[in-house]
Chains A and B, each alone.
Chain A
């Protein structure tokens, strides 16, 4: 069904035929339809849903996940995965919180948060590239370590009352639009440029398709991997900056769900978990799908536990349909 639908949409949008499509136009169009249906359902059940205030809230809640998801898309296209991004975000956030408590100014604190994220991402990438441990296992290991670091530093107590000097990045408004939208725009434009318009992006895709082939043509596979994970780490560090800017505290359970949500959004958005293909735009729509589901279910009075059921179920449906499509092609 999905296949038939996607091929129909593809033919409409991409007349040269499915075989020549360089990106997942079909998936993105379908997600747009799914989002419209979702919004229509929630809007019919809650008159508050489509209010400007609620939509702004959804957007603000989506900023950190969106930023992380851009990096996750690149890592998944590379044929990797990173389940430790929540831990990276947490460690960066703790460092940011402590730095603020020591009275450091924004221009010191922000680079600390970004550098910490990039360094931990690079650590993940180095372990994966050098030891050839499967990325899911390697990052599961580092996730436990990062979470332990969080608890050791934070000691079970929230860091709170942090300055509001950067809150405008998420909560502010610019030219009539929420500031978070610009942050997302800049990060996705940058990611798109790196992935689709540079040799580096070509190498990422090639490694995701066939690592051996990439090595044979002289691509520096290990270095590219480390850079991709470091980029994801950098984005997780930025997400930590934005998180602290928005909520002005660091809680003990910070970053708990973000890795799984980012992976889910990326796959909903059309990325192949085996690497090689994926879509930044699709991933961003996947984020919106998840965040709108969370928001809408709360508004119409359904327990938020159902949100995970909806997203988990949808993920399985997408993966099964992908598997069918892969079998059909081969």
Chain B
């Protein structure tokens, strides 16, 4: 019994001049699943997530959400369709408070004598709720985001995605620049998202992290999907083998023999 597909991409091709960055790639994501996306540098990970985020338009291929074809023309387009991509730079406004960031572009307004005013109290209250749902601990909700730690910022960025009711959350190397304790925290955020039925795409270089939180692993190599592994049925060595291409060579040898 498998969950229905939340998102699928089939036959995705993206060329940059003569370079084929994605060569007929398939990708799928179930509801409530954490799908890791791994691969060496230049494997096509960035191109794939940029397509998912609406930053690139594919040259060929189809993308479906809940079985209906979609085509993202801009990052906002993707956000509006419930696909929130959290890039490494996080897209947070450093000199604004946590709540102001979570509600940026979606502010709550309350009318006083017919004049609209920001409803800061309500935005703070809902921000607190969102952060509690994720178990994000911050010193003070009024703190400027630039004074937060890397892990806390990830938490704020994820809370913002939850606030727009994103169903698919794409995280690009969320643990890359973090201290060990912070990494633990971010992995917990990802597990919390899965518990809430969200679908997560986790791009990571860290096989340990991938093994810990993912349900399945998509491996890209030289613009192709060379592996789709069940995390429970694989080993870190096998994943690394796929990433470096060793597993592929072995398989070919076996086939030839």
Contacts and interface: CB of A to CB of B under 8 A. Distances in A.
B27 interface: no
B79 A210 contact: no
A325 B181 CA distance: 29
Bin the interface of chain A by size: 20 to 34
Interface in A186-207: 196-199, 201-203, 205-206
B8 interface: no
B95 A216 contact: no
A329 B148 CA distance: 12
B104 A206 contact: yes
A279 to B, nearest CB: 12
B93 A213 contact: yes
Interface string A205-232: 1101110111111110000000000000
B18 interface: no
A219 to B, nearest CB: 5
Interface stretch (A15-23, A32-40, A89-97): A15-23
Given A199-B107, A214-B104, A209 B80 contact: no
B33 interface: no
Contacts of A218: 76, 79-80, 105
A276 interface: yes
Contacts of A212: 89, 91
Most chain B CB atoms below 10 A, which of A199, A205, A212, A216: A216
Contacts of B76: 215-218
A20 B89 CA distance: 22
B79 A217 contact: yes
Nearest to A16: B140
A199 B118 contact: yes
B109 A202 contact: no
Interface residues of B, number: 31
A118 to B, nearest CB: 21
Contacts of A10: none
A208 B104 CA distance: 13
A210 B105 contact: no
A16 B109 CA distance: 26
B94 A210 contact: yes
Contacts of B94: 209-210, 276
Contacts of A198: 109, 116-118
Contact of A202 (B90, B104, B147): B104
A277 interface: yes
Contacts of A203: 104-105
B245 interface: no
Contact of B96 (A16, A20, A206, A216): A206
B116 A276 contact: no
Given A209-B96, A210-B93, A22 B79 contact: no
Given A16-B140, A209-B95, A219 B117 contact: no
A197 B147 contact: no
Contacts of B160: 217
Interface in B134-149: 139-140, 142-144, 146-147
Nearest to A219: B105
Given A206-B96, A217-B91, 12 more contacts: A196-B118, A202-B96, A202-B103, A203-B104, A205-B95, A205-B96, A213-B89, A216-B79, A217-B105, A218-B76, A219-B105, A276-B94
28 contacts: A16-B142, A19-B139, A20-B140, A197-B117, A197-B118, A198-B109, A199-B109, A202-B104, A202-B107, A205-B95, A205-B96, A206-B96, A208-B95, A209-B94, A209-B95, A210-B92, A210-B94, A212-B89, A213-B92, A214-B93, A215-B76, A216-B75, A216-B79, A216-B91, A217-B91, A218-B80, A219-B105, A276-B94
- A-B complex: 3 closest residue pairs judged by Cβ atoms: A209-B93, A213-B91, A217-B105
